[in-house]
């Protein structure tokens, strides 16, 4: 048995479960259905590896060699998330798979805005005033399937004063 | 019998977000003697040596009524079991220094919207820092991620 993490559509709870080391695509989908209480339109969901690959139908997880994705999977009805990011009044458009992590999104955004590494250490992605898009979050966890898009703000961490 | 606050804390530290921080070397529970006596828990947070030369800043948390009530924490001298001497608190950046301010409140807590002792008298923080102002839906990792960023940027 191996520990894996399931990330779901428009849901920020990460489910930690144990599966057989030779679990396949169908078993993982069944676990997603159970953990995220998916009862309808099951065929509309796509299973993703963490970051940027669709998990091919019929494929075994092969957890012993599944190091790069660190045992993280995602199901979502969007194949891509259209993402606009605003920084210092400038907005740029991006497209990510739902399983893209905050870490990857932040790196991509910083690169596109041509921000120097020294200036980037203090920057955060925010979904809104109250929610930080953390490094380990999946972008699909903030997005429903109706529009498949998200607006983010790239901001400096705040100075606490009062 | 374990209390609900302890059960919730144990649940949260068993989850991916906290464990990812442990595996990444961002923070960890102090599990050596002296033994943890609830509601007191000591957690270290990794720090840049320029801000804190030992690179592991121990924080002693008080967590009664967690997570309904915000945690409170102060830098902790793990050898002597006391609040860290004021002169060696982490310091060095414009964002770090106000939070790690031993001159505030007799050095008993961090000056931040996550901290139970800092929240009273700062009603404005709720709108000024809505992402940080403690809510009962928050987990200990929210506090730790904020402190880790401060100690590493």
Both A120 and A59 in a single domain? Answer: no
What's the whole-number mean pLDDT along residues A78-88? 97
Q: Do A160 and B98 touch (CB under 8 A)?
A: yes
R_g of chain B, CA atoms, integer Å? 15
A114 within domain boundaries: yes
Both A56 and A97 in a single domain? Answer: no
Whole-angstrom CA distances from A117 to A120, A148, B125 are 5, 30, 30
The CATH number covering residue A59 comes to: 3.10.20.90
| Pick from A100, A87, A88, A92: nearest CA to A135 | A100
Both A92 and A140 in a single domain? Answer: yes
The predicted pLDDT at position B119 comes to 97
Domain that holds residue B10: 4-152
Domain that holds residue A8: 2-76
pLDDT tier at A65, thresholds 50, 70, 90? very low
A161 within domain boundaries: no
Q: Do A14 and B16 touch (CB under 8 A)?
A: yes
Both A140 and A88 in a single domain? Answer: yes
Q: Among the three residues A76, A108, A142, which one is the final residue of a domain in this structure?
A: A76
For each of chain B's 153 residues, which pLDDT tens digit applies? Answer: 899 999 999 999 999 999 999 999 999 999 876 556 899 999 999 999 999 999 999 999 999 999 999 999 999 999 999 999 999 999 999 999 999 999 999 999 999 999 999 999 999 999 999 999 999 999 999 999 999 999 998
Answer yes or no: pTM beyond 0.95: no
Both A60 and A100 in a single domain? Answer: no
Q: Quote the minimal CA–CA distance from A113 to chain B in Å.
A: 20
Q: Do A134 and B145 touch (CB under 8 A)?
A: yes
A143 within domain boundaries: yes
| A155 alpha carbon, distance to own chain's centre | 20
Number of domains present in the structure of chain A: 2
The CATH number covering residue B118 comes to: 3.10.110.10
pLDDT tens string A2-30:
888 999 999 999 999 988 877 888 888 89
A43 within domain boundaries: yes
Q: What is the ipTM of this complex?
A: 0.87
Higher pLDDT, residue A136 or A63: A136
- Mutant choice from A110, A117, A160 vs B, greatest count of B C-beta within 10 A: A160
* Strand extents, DSSP E, B47-137: 56-62, 72-77, 82-83
- A132 CB-side CA count, 13 A: 22
A162 within domain boundaries: no
Number of domains present in the structure of chain B: 1
Q: Do A160 and B129 touch (CB under 8 A)?
A: yes
């Amino acid at each position: 048995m191996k520990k894996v993490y399931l990330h779901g559509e428009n849901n920020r709870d990460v489910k930690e479960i144990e599966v057989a080391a030779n679990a396949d695509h169908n078993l993982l989908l069944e676990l997603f259905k159970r953990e995220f209480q998916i009862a309808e339109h099951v065929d509309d969901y796509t299973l993703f590896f963490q970051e940027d690959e669709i998990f091919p139908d019929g494929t075994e997880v092969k957890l012993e060699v599944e190091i790069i994705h660190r045992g993280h999977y995602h199901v979502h009805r969007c194949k891509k998330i259209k993402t606009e990011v605003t920084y210092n009044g400038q907005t740029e458009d991006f497209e990510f798979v739902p399983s893209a992590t905050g870490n990857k999104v932040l790196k991509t955004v910083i690169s596109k805005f041509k921000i120097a590494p020294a200036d980037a250490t203090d920057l955060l992605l925010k979904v809104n005033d109250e929610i930080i898009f953390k490094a380990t979050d999946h972008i699909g966890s903030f997005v429903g399937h109706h529009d498949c898009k998200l607006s983010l703000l790239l901001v400096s961490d705040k100075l606490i004063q009062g | 019998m374990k209390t609900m606050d302890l059960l919730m804390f144990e649940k949260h530290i068993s989850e991916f977000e906290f464990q990812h921080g442990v595996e990444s070397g961002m923070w960890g529970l102090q599990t050596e003697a002296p033994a943890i006596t609830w509601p007191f828990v000591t957690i270290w947070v990794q720090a840049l040596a320029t801000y804190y030369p030992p690179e592991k800043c121990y924080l002693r948390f008080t967590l009664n009524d967690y997570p309904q009530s915000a945690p409170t924490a102060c830098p902790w001298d793990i050898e002597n079991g006391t609040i860290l001497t004021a002169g060696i608190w982490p310091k060095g950046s414009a964002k770090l220094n106000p939070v790690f301010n031993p001159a505030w409140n007799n050095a008993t807590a961090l000056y931040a919207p996550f901290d139970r002792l800092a929240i009273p008298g700062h009603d404005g923080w709720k709108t000024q820092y809505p992402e940080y102002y403690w809510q009962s839906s928050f987990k200990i990792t929210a506090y730790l991620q904020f402190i880790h960023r401060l100690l590493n940027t």
